């Protein structure tokens, strides 16, 4: 068990506040933490003794002595975040400020055994290069495609993965065995919304929703400050909301799910099917070589068929998003993932449709954000943030 677990609740509270709000003076900590001065002094001493926080600066005077400001130690403690997607692996090493990245590496995904080997080798090599001893690494957070058994650290039966060997794979155990460091596992979208709400675009909001549109539609939700989990720890429930009972067949076996219309594969398949029935397009590529990125680019360059396919897909997503907003009424909605990254048209149509269709539009203002503060690193950095949050909760 890591030494963070042995701090009392007041020390953990101060550490969390200083991480998220530092540099910060004692007067502010007293007010926010609702402590007496003697309690605060007892709680802050072990944090200083262990080197987790430092006296970072002298603040502005409000009439008396200038206050000492406390901040997280940026040098001696580190966390690692891993993003396991259906198409890639991403590894980051950061300090307790979370957004200070010392390593960001994108790697190919294959079988689980090979992926674990690549992840662990990359981490070991970089820690050695940076002269970071493992004793200074608090742990490894892993954000991955679900569904999961978080307690056992298993990836259960993910759809559209590059290998069936991922089914019931003991990811947490394998990472811990190879690196001899504590590992924490959660759905990637949960990790992303955590990063954005604690440190990014959502830091001034209590209700934040994060959507990642790629091969699937992944969703992370923080409502009134609390992370919302599904009973099966899956992150694709929104993607499998039925919007057309007579619609296309989905990978889940149902018909008319959001994912049937609003994923990168759905867009590519719809475009190709329309070309096959005689619709004109500006693309000179063979059909089997056309990618969703080609279609996004063609739409931006004025190809009528590509614009039609992207617009129809985005309109469906915007309508589904409006229904979601009606239910949960988030303050901030972050749209991310490959489809959002490469298609400005999709983003503009989806947000305009959602803004027009949700029924509280006259009383609630929803803010939309493209990609969040951390963009492609949201899941990996959120995975790193999860390590610290989990250790403080024990």
Domains of the chain: 3-72 (1.10.10.10), 78-194+377-393 (3.30.420.40), 203-372 (3.30.420.40)
Per DSSP, helices labelled H in the chain are 9-21, 26-33, 37-49, 112-129, 171-179, 188-199, 259-262, 264-276, 292-300, 304-328, 338-342, 344-357, 378-393
CA distance 124 to 178: 10
**Nearest partner of 252 among 211, 217, 213, judged by Cα:** 217
| Residue 209 predicted with pLDDT over 50 | yes
pLDDT at 237: 86
CA distance 64 to 51: 28
Question: Using an 8 Å Cβ cutoff, are 199 and 99 in contact?
Answer: yes
pLDDT > 90: what percent of the chain?
71
**Nearest partner of 288 among 302, 277, 300, 276, judged by Cα:** 276
CA distance 171 to 169: 6
**Span 196-216, average pLDDT:** 94
Bridge partners, 33 (sequence order): none
Q: What are the pLDDT digits (tens) for 81-116? A: 999 999 999 999 999 988 789 989 999 999 999 999
| Residue 159 predicted with pLDDT over 70 | yes
CA distance 173 to 385: 20
pLDDT-derived band of residue 1, with 50, 70 and 90 as boundaries?
very low
Q: What are the pLDDT digits (tens) for 321-332? A: 999 998 898 999
Question: Containing H/E element for 166?
Answer: none
Question: Using an 8 Å Cβ cutoff, are 190 and 220 in contact?
Answer: yes
| Residue 272 predicted with pLDDT over 90 | yes
**Span 353-370, average pLDDT:** 83
Please tell me the pTM assigned to this model.
0.91
Q: Write the DSSP symbol of residue 67.
A: P
Which has more confidence, 3 or 317? 317
Q: Lowest mean pLDDT: which of 161-165, 212-216, 221-225?
A: 161-165
What are 371's two structure tokens?
């990609």
CA distance 78 to 197: 20
């Amino acid at each position: 068990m890591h030494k963070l677990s042995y701090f009392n609740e007041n020390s953990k509270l101060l550490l969390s506040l200083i991480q998220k709000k530092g540099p910060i003076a004692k007067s502010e900590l007293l007010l926010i933490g609702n402590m007496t001065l003697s309690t605060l002094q007892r709680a802050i001493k072990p944090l200083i003794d262990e080197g987790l926080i430092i006296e970072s600066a002298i603040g502005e005077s409000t009439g008396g002595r200038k206050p000492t400001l406390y901040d997280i130690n940026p040098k001696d403690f580190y966390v690692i975040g891993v993003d396991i997607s259906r198409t890639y692996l991403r590894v980051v090493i950061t300090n307790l400020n979370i957004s200070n990245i010392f390593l960001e590496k994108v790697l190919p995904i294959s079988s689980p055994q090979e992926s674990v080997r690549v992840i662990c080798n990359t981490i070991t090599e970089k820690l050695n290069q940076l002269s970071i001893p493992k004793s200074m690494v608090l742990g490894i957070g892993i954000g991955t495609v679900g569904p999961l058994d978080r307690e056992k650290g298993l990836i259960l039966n993910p759809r559209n993965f590059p290998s069936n060997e991922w089914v019931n794979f003991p990811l947490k155990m394998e990472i811990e065995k190879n690196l001899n460091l504590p590992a924490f596992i959660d759905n990637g979208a949960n990790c992303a919304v955590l990063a954005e709400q604690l440190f990014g675009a959502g830091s001034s909001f209590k209700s934040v929703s994060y959507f990642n549109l790629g091969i699937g539609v992944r969703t992370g939700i923080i409502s009134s400050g609390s992370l919302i989990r599904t009973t099966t720890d899956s992150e694709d429930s929104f993607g499998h909301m039925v919007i057309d009972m007579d619609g296309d067949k989905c990978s889940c076996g149902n018909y008319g799910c959001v994912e049937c219309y609003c994923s990168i594969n759905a867009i590519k398949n719809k475009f190709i099917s329309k070309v096959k029935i005689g619709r004109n397009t500006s693309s000179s590529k063979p059909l089997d070589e056309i990618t969703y990125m080609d279609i996004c680019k063609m739409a931006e360059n004025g190809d009528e068929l590509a614009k039609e396919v992207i617009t129809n897909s985005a309109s469906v997503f915007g309508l589904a998003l409006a229904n979601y907003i009606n239910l949960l009424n988030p303050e901030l909605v972050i749209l991310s993932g490959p489809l959002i990254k490469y298609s400005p048209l999709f983003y503009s149509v989806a947000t305009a449709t959602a803004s027009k269709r949700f029924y509280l539009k006259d009383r609630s203002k929803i803010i939309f954000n493209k990609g969040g503060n951390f963009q492609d690193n949201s899941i990996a950095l959120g995975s790193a943030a999860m390590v610290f949050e989990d250790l403080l909760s024990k």
